Amino acid sequence: MIQQFGLVAVGGAIGAVMRYGIGYTITANHFPWPTLLVNVIGSFMLGMLSVMAINNIVSKDAVLFLGVGLLGAFTTMSTFSLETVDLLKNDQYMMALTYSSLSFIICISCAFFGWELGNKIQFG
């Protein structure tokens, strides 16, 4: 059990640093592009990882390290929520609607496409 906690912790540390790096290198310019980007990438990767786990292509330890740890820390629903509230509080209603709609549609689509890609990798 300690090994599993370690896998999640190390993966989480890497994912958090990756998210910080994207936020540091990409300028938001009044729109929260960095958070949208990490959530889109993370949704795609988690979709692909999930189907690979279901098909026993990756181990439970890999799911803990990559899915729970790395991608769990890399993506961020809490930041997305806070950024949306901030836009609303600053009377930027259209930007809040655009951001939340894009996040919802693109992230779910990426999770779907990741899942489909994972299936194609499995079955050739």
123 has a pLDDT exceeding 70:
no
* pLDDT tens readout for residues 15-63: 999 999 999 999 878 899 999 999 999 999 999 999 999 899 999 999 9
Which are the contacts of 2, defined by CB distance < 8 A and separation ≥ 6? none
The residue extents of the domains of the chain are: 2-123
Q: Which residue is associated with the tokens 């803990």?
A: 64
| pTM listed for this prediction | 0.83
pLDDT recorded at residue 78: 80
Q: Give the angle subtended at the CA of 44 by the CAs of 38 and 48, to the nearest 5°.
A: 140
120 has a pLDDT exceeding 90:
no
